[in-house]
Amino acid sequence: MEQLIILIALITLGYVAGSITEKRHYRSLEAREKALVNLPAVNFKQLPVDPAIVRKSEMVVGNTVIAVDYFKRILAGLRNVFGGKVKSYESLLDRARREAILRMKENAKGAAIIINVRLETSTIGKSSKNQNATSIEAMAYGTALIIGEQ
């Protein structure tokens, strides 16, 4: 019986804390994306500008690791029985990637465009057979082009 009560308490804690953190993060993401919307990140290689005006080019990287809260883990475990979309993890990955791209853009201050952006995702944390105690790491890297007068 105690086990059930502890479980419910942890799930509630995970849900409440998790949703607060998530909402806060999304608001931050949206604000920063709006601020950085004038710096495009694209994943093609061709130079969209005349090579002559490129003053400097530099690789920029942004990464972040986001942890899973208990509520999401329980949901994923239950979902594993029935199959289908694991909706609880979707927001996690969305946040991680957007954050990684934003950090990459923030590292490329002064650039006109970031080309050949690539994204890598991996899981960090205990990867023993039954533990879902993984965190998601997202990394974005690309080449920032700074244009202007020599």
Partner 1 sequence: MKYTPILPENNDNISHESPVKELFILSAGIIGIVIGIYVALGFAVNWIVPHISLETEKKMAALFSGVTGKGEDTSPRAKHIQALCDRFQKSCAKIPYEVNIHIIENEIANAIALPGGNILLCSGLLEKMGSENELAYVLLHEFGHFSNRDHLKGFGRSLVFVAISAALFGPDSTVGNLIAGSIGISETGFSRVQETDADEFGIEGLQCAYGHVNGATDFFEKMSKAEDPHIFGNYFSTHPETLKRIEHIKAYARENGFDLKEKKPLPDQFKKISESD
Partner 2 sequence: MDTKFKLIFDGNLTGSEPLETVKKNLSGLLKKDAAAINQLFAETPVVIKASVDPTTASKYESAFKKAGAICRVVEIKKNLLPQEGKIILTNVESVPGTTIVEHFGLVSGSTIRAKHVGRDIMASLKNLVGGELKGYTQLLQESRDEAIDRMKRQARQLGANAIINVRFSTSSVAQGAAELYSYGTAVRVE
C-alpha distances in Å from residue 31, one per residue of 56, 61, 149: 28, 20, 31
Asked if 83 interacts with partner 2 (CB under 8 A), we say: yes
The residue type at 65:
V
- The half-sphere exposure of 134 on its side-chain side, counting CA atoms within 13 A, is 18
Binders of partner 2 among 95-114, rule CB under 8 A? 97, 101
User: Minimum distance from CB of 97 to partner 2 (Å)?
Assistant: 7
Q: Which of 3, 51, 83, 150 binds partner 1 (CB under 8 A)?
A: 3
Which residues in this chain contact partner 2 in the complex, by CB under 8 A?
Answer: 40-46, 48, 68, 73, 76-77, 79-86, 89-90, 92-94, 97, 101, 117-123, 129-132, 134, 136
